[in-house]
């Protein structure tokens, strides 16, 4: 703890999958007495306030910019659409962050890794700042394929040649469309130009990343300013155990889908059909909205939202769309996963599950009830791998370590007398 508490402004991307993990870190900081201000999506302002943060919505113009990445035919198409959305939002983030800083007058900033305009403004400013990344960041790392396509690491000369070729494609998809637009913003705010997404992200004085080895690959090229801080899965609603959960006797399989629209509702529907006659109880969640006319078999419960913690405490497997938060929430409790990726960073998450042998991976294009059923029962045999991942996540020190780093490296030196 610090003798003098600080005012911290967290500026977030408008996505529930980004808010939940950073809120774990922010609650740790608030518990140490720091005054936390949060900018997030409008629908989650009340939730942020309930967690004890001084919360307000980001500029509505930012939330109005949506990706249609579920329509892309390839992972490279997904990357291209993602870059476009982040660059368009960046134009509005600069002024939005400036207004928040003028109101809050924070001692330090924590900025989501998808807020490229806010990151550029922070880089040009005079306040200490860090980036929080709820996904594997787009940083180059020797001996590994570029982040994005979800490729399995491959060693030796063949792997080197493959990675060079893929890196040139990823650069064409990400760097070239991004540089002109982001550098124009950076010039306006007085930040130096960058030559790649990798260089842009490395401008952050510190980056806190969700994850840990052996789930995350070893990254010798990330450098000393990038820190893995575990699963970041603390759920303030975890103590709320639904009445219906206590009435379930069979082993539970949790099914999670994205909180942002994509074509993954069929994952939940397929899971209901695949496991309808099995000796398990399926708890299927559809955060983006329960599909109309869904047929719920006797061994299933369907909800838009459920507190994942109490469900996972009784689960034998979790079927996820490959969102980092949903996947690590299960693995953090040593629950093996079956991942069916649809887009965004989900292909990277799915491949990490396969490499760490903490679950199974099924491409969305091959999704059928029969294949999903087989992959789920295979995943149930991989509890040892899930336990290794859970141990690795705990070994990082989690959000307590993240809060230590913020206190030690970001907060004003006059308040940095540590009591531990």
The domains found in the chain, sorted by start residue, are 7-230+396-415 (3.40.50.2000), 243-394 (3.40.50.2000)
The ranges of the chain with pLDDT < 70 are 1-4, 69-72, 235-240, 260-262, 412-420
Mean pLDDT of the chain, nearest integer: 91
Q: ω into residue 214 within 30 of 0, thus cis? A: yes
Give how far Cα 405 sits from Cα of 210, 217, 234, 250, 399, Å.
14, 22, 19, 43, 10
Give the separation between CA 81 and CA 62, rounded to whole angstroms: 16
Cα R_g (the chain), whole angstroms: 21
pLDDT for the residue 3:
59
Name the percent of the chain in helix, strand, coil, to the closest 5: 45, 15, 40
Q: Which residues contact 118 (CB under 8 A, 6 or more apart)?
A: 11, 90, 93, 94, 96, 97, 111, 112
Tallying the residues shown for the chain, one arrives at 420
Beta 337-339 vs 359-361: how paired, if at all? parallel
Give the separation between CA 342 and CA 321, rounded to whole angstroms: 7
Of 356, 349, 343, 305, which Cα lies nearest the Cα of 324? 349
Tokens of residue 359, six digits: 């679950």
Give the separation between CA 43 and CA 287, rounded to whole angstroms: 13
Chain center to CA of 225: 19
What would the pLDDT profile of 149-161 be if each residue is shown by its tens digit?
888 999 889 988 9
Give the separation between CA 58 and CA 52, rounded to whole angstroms: 18
Chain center to CA of 131: 13
DSSP notation for 129-182:
EEEEESS--S---TTSPPSSS-PPP--HHHHHHHHHHHHHHHHHHHHHHHHHHH
Residue 252, judged by CB atoms within 10 A of its CB (0-12, 13-18, 19+), counts as: buried
pLDDT for the residue 201:
96
Give how far Cα 361 sits from Cα of 208, 330, 416, Å.
27, 15, 45
Please indicate, yes or no, whether the overall pTM of this predicted structure exceeds 0.75. yes
Give the separation between CA 33 and CA 70, rounded to whole angstroms: 42
Q: Which residue has the tokens 């130009």?
A: 193
Q: ω into residue 354 within 30 of 0, thus cis? A: no
Of 234, 152, 173, 213, which Cα lies nearest the Cα of 403? 234
Yes or no: say if 385 and 215 are a contact pair by the CB < 8 Å rule: no
């Amino acid at each position: 703890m610090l003798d003098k508490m600080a005012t911290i402004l967290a500026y977030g991307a408008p996505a529930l999958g980004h808010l939940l993990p950073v809120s774990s870190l922010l609650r740790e900081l608030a518990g140490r007495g720091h005054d936390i201000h949060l900018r997030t999506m409008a629908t989650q302002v009340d939730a942020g306030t309930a967690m004890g943060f001084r919360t307000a919505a980001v500029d509505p113009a930012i939330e109005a910019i949506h990706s249609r990445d579920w329509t892309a035919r390839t992972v490279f198409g997904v990357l291209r659409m993602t870059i476009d959305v982040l660059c368009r939002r960046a134009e509005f983030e600069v002024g939005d962050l400036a207004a928040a800083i003028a109101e809050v007058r924070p001692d330090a900033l924590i900025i989501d890794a998808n807020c490229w305009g806010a990151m550029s403004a922070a880089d040009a400013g005079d306040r200490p700042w860090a980036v929080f990344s709820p996904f594997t960041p787009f940083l180059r790392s020797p001996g590994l394929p570029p982040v994005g396509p979800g490729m399995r690491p491959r060693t030796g000369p063949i792997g080197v040649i493959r990675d060079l070729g893929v890196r040139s494609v990823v650069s064409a998809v990400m760097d070239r469309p991004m540089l002109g637009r982001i550098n124009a913003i950076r010039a306006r705010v007085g930040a130096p130009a960058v030559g790649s997404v990798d260089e842009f992200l490395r401008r952050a004085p510190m980056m806190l990343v969700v994850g840990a080895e052996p789930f995350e690959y070893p990254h010798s090229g990330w450098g000393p300013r990038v820190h893995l801080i575990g699963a970041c899965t603390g759920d303030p609603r975890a103590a709320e155990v639904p009445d219906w959960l206590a009435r379930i006797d069979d082993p539970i399989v949790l099914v999670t889908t994205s909180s942002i629209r994509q074509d993954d509702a069929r994952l939940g529907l397929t899971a209901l059909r695949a496991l309808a006659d099995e000796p398990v109880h399926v708890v299927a969640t559809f955060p983006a909205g329960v599909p109309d006319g869904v047929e719920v078999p006797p061994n299933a419960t369907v909800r838009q939202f459920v507190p994942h913690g109490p469900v996972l405490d009784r689960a034998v497997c979790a079927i996820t769309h490959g969102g980092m938060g949903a996947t690590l929430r299960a693995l953090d409790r040593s629950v093996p996963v079956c991942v069916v990726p649809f887009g965004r960073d989900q292909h990277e998450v799915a491949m990490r599950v396969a490499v760490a042998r903490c679950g199974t991976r099924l491409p969305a294009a091959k999704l059928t009830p029969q294949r999903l059923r087989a992959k789920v029962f295979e995943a149930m045999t991989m509890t040892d791998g899930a336990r290794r991942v859970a141990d690795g996540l705990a070994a990082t020190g989690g959000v307590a370590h993240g809060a230590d780093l913020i206190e030690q490296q970001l907060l004003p030196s006059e308040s940095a007398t540590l009591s531990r």
